[in-house]
Amino acid sequence: VGKSTFSALLAQGLAADEAKQVALLDIDICGPSIPKMMGLEGEQVHQSGSGWSPVYVEENLGVMSVGFLLSSPDDAVIWRGPKKNGLIKQFLRDVDWGEIDYLIVDTPPGTSDEHLSIVQYLSATRIDGAVIITTPQEVSLQDVRKEINFCHKVKLPIIGVVENMSGFVCPKCKNESQIFPPTTGGAEKMCQNLNVSLLGKVPLDPQIGKSCDKGQSFLSEAPESPATSSYRNIIHRIQEYCDQHHFHEEKII
């Protein structure tokens, strides 16, 4: 549905503010796609006296992924839960992120070991919340309802839901087509029913896939695209949420 794509674009969007330090952690152990999307395929992790050094896209955007530890992008990672959990703990404990303003964690689909581990290990840090990605059709929404339920059970705040692949505007005739029809009302209806914020809808744009394959930022490559406008609005709403969350915490302290 585009979770890793959104994580990569969110990191790039936040890092556009050079005063902010952004970290992107890929815990999709069995399917790490972040190195490819960030243009870092083939990079290696280096060890220093203070721990593992993240791989930097920009001076203020560091990335860590199991993909950097594999000898080939085609290598399969066939691990059971405890080994996955151990690596996630190592990423959080041994990576020298330095002082960061945002830590974005890209997770695999579902509600499994990786999700439980990251929530448990970061519980003391007061996580701002989860951004949940869906597409408009009911098959996707069924899974998303489970993920929202998971967040409630582990007391993880939900920043909001993003509806990805929400319609396609033909670049020639400008007519909009619903490639994935929202037969049950899409993310908007689901968010109303579950009292969750809808952060925005992102239309399909073939350039998104091309940019990801080339390891380039879609936001920079296609600044005039309606999808870029949607992404920027969503990123702005996430920034506002985090700022308000931190302000509220400071008042509590």
Average pLDDT over residues 77-102: 94
Q: What is the residue type of 63?
A: V
Q: Does one domain contain both 110 and 168?
A: no
Q: Does one domain contain both 48 and 24?
A: yes
Mean of per-residue pLDDT scores for the chain? 93
Q: Does one domain contain both 154 and 226?
A: yes
Q: Is residue 4 part of a domain?
A: no
Report the CATH number that the domain containing residue 72 is assigned in CATH: 3.40.50.300
Position 245 scores a pLDDT of: 81
Q: Domain total for the chain?
A: 2
Q: Treating both helix axes as pointing N-terminal to C-terminal, what angle do 113-121 and 81-94 enclose, rounded to 10 degrees? A: 30
Name the pTM for this structure. 0.94
Average pLDDT over residues 30-39: 96
Last residue of some domain: 125, 160, 191? 125
Last residue of some domain: 106, 125, 144? 125
Using the predicted structure, report yes or no on whether residue 55 has a pLDDT greater than 60: yes
User: What number of other Cβ atoms are within 10 A of residue 245's Cβ?
Assistant: 16
User: What number of other Cβ atoms are within 10 A of residue 104's Cβ?
Assistant: 21
pLDDT, one tens digit per residue, over 214-232 is 999 999 999 999 999 999 9
- Identify the band that residue 21 occupies on the pLDDT scale cut at 50, 70 and 90: very high
| 106, β-bridge pairs | 26
Q: Does one domain contain both 118 and 132?
A: no
pLDDT, one tens digit per residue, over 141-178 is 999 999 999 999 999 999 999 999 999 988 788 788 99
Average pLDDT over residues 91-102: 94
Average pLDDT over residues 102-117: 94
Q: Does one domain contain both 146 and 170?
A: yes
Identify the domain containing residue 109 by its residue range: 19-125
Say which residues have a Cβ less than 8 Å from residue 234's Cβ, sequence separation at least 6: 162, 199, 200, 202
Q: Is residue 5 part of a domain?
A: no
| Radius of gyration of the CA atoms of the chain, in A | 18
- Identify the band that residue 89 occupies on the pLDDT scale cut at 50, 70 and 90: very high
Using the predicted structure, report yes or no on whether residue 120 has a pLDDT greater than 80: yes
- Identify the band that residue 30 occupies on the pLDDT scale cut at 50, 70 and 90: very high
Q: Which two tokens stand for residue 35?
A: 């190195």
Q: Is residue 142 part of a domain?
A: yes
Q: Does one domain contain both 33 and 65?
A: yes
Using the predicted structure, report yes or no on whether residue 32 has a pLDDT greater than 50: yes
Q: Does one domain contain both 237 and 135?
A: yes
Using the predicted structure, report yes or no on whether residue 253 has a pLDDT greater than 50: no
